[in-house]
Amino acid sequence: MGYVELEQKIRDKTARVGVVGLGYVGLPLLRAFIRAGFSAIGFDVDETKVQKLNAGQSYIGHIPSQWIREWIEMRRFEATADMGRLNEPDAILICVPTPLNESRDPDLQYIEGTTAAIARVLRPDQLVVLESTTYPGTTREVMLPVLEKTGLKCGQDFFLAFSPEREDPGNPNFSAERIPKVVGGIEPRSTQLAVALYSHAVVQVIPVASAEVAEACKILENTYRAVNIAMVNELKVLFQRLGIDIWEVIDAAKTKPFGFQAFYPGPGLGGHCIPIDPFYLSWLARRHGMTTRFIELAGEINTSMPEYVVRRVIDALNEHGKPLKGSKVCILGMAYKKDVDDPRESPSFALMEMLLAGGAIVTYNDPHIPKLPKMRHFRVPEMTSSELTAEFLASQDCVLIATDHSAYDYDFIVRHAPLVVDTRNATKNVKIGREKIRKA
């Protein structure tokens, strides 16, 4: 079999798709290909995830178990932790984490580990596509040499491309199938095969000149958001001192039908992309003798937001004649965004650490996270979600809204809590008890 035969298998959907990393990106991607008519195999080193999936159970809140059961009933899907089976798929799509290390440099251990696992069983006529967000050059400089050490040649024996994930967890308006995909290969035939594959599963595929362009595209998208969020976060601090409501300012500005896009402040950045990707770019710039001052300043501003929020909590408690030490503070929302169970890089954990360090008695509520998970960069106490009864709210000295989940009854919360610090403008429509609300 060669390029032509693999292209034909992709065209007639007999090519088997493998997805490595069965999380918030990998599972929706599997759904897109299975719905398009492909059979798929999912790979993950977490045996617990594999067992749940093969039993038809989802472990992500906004991904229903019904999806998994349907895939299994159609005999289109199985999950495995056996990386020795990576020679079975015709196309391998990599969706593994790309965190930062302690010095905020790229941590590529998961990409490197997956690449090494693929190399051990790589066979001719496989297409490998990296989807994990990373710096420009990763696919060519990190993955390609390892795969070619097998003696197989890219563009001749196997094919390699980059296509950045664009998943928006919990957003029903943008399922994986409805989001355009950018694709860039190491060489033209790799691009062509990746375009042919994704064209079956997503609404639009945009081929670009190289893997590096595709990698840079993803970094640009998320740096754009990080920089603009930093701007409104900085303005939030300034306007608060001037007695101006930043949320009302943004609502007024977005009535302009051109030249303005609304970005909103918050308690800090969360998720797997926006808090991380700009640091990948600044690290790459340093390697090339440059500094990305604008991007690094944005990172500093966004990283400082949890500290600002805690200061606002302290000020609000002082108004009530209470110090932070010994005060009961309940954090509403540990997920990084509303209506999902995704805690990755959530600023709520930074808030919890700071409040505990200041001597506060901290609890939390999150309808999507019943028990606090272990986190890579935070010391997380053993804690379960507290029930928001009238009595519990009344017993708190301060309720801190960190994530504006739709499930919250904000009228009820404000009515029963003695003090509410709102970082998300979640209480904007609350009419009774507004004197208890402080914006942060």
Q: Which residues of the chain have pLDDT under 70?
A: 1, 102-103, 271-275
Q: How far apart are CA 330 and CA 317, in angstroms?
A: 13
End-to-end CA distance of the chain: 61
Burial (CB < 10 A; 0-12, 13-18, 19+), residue 15, is buried
Cβ(108)–Cβ(138) below 8 Å: yes
What residues contact residue 356 under an 8 Å CB cut-off, 6+ apart?
A: 362, 381
pLDDT of residue 379: 82
Which residue blocks in 269-319 are alpha helix, DSSP H?
277-287, 293-319
Determine the distance from the C-alpha atom of residue 143 to the mean position of all C-alpha atoms in its chain, rounded to a whole number.
23
The structure tokens 């943004």 sit at 250
pLDDT of residue 272: 60
pLDDT of residue 274: 65
Q: How far apart are CA 135 and CA 165, in angstroms?
A: 14
pTM of the model: 0.90
pLDDT of residue 275: 66
Q: Which of 360, 366, 354 is nearest to 324 (CA)?
A: 360
Catalytic annotation, pick one of 95, 154, 217, 273: 273
Q: Which of 420, 409, 423 is nearest to 229 (CA)?
A: 423
Q: How far apart are CA 167 and CA 433, in angstroms?
A: 38
Burial (CB < 10 A; 0-12, 13-18, 19+), residue 236, is buried
Query: Is 273 assigned a catalytic role?
Result: yes
Beta bridge partners of 40: 17, 77
Q: Could you count the other beta carbons within 10 Å of the beta carbon of residue 49?
A: 22
Q: For 121-178, what is each residue's pLDDT tens digit? A: 999 999 999 999 999 999 999 999 999 999 999 999 999 999 999 887 777 777 888 8
Q: How far apart are CA 61 and CA 183, in angstroms?
A: 29
80-93 residues labelled b (16+ CB within 10 A) or e (exposed): bbebeebebbbbbb
Write down all domains in the chain, each with its CATH number in brackets.
3-209 (3.40.50.720), 256-439 (3.40.50.720)
What residues contact residue 411 under an 8 Å CB cut-off, 6+ apart?
A: 430, 431, 432
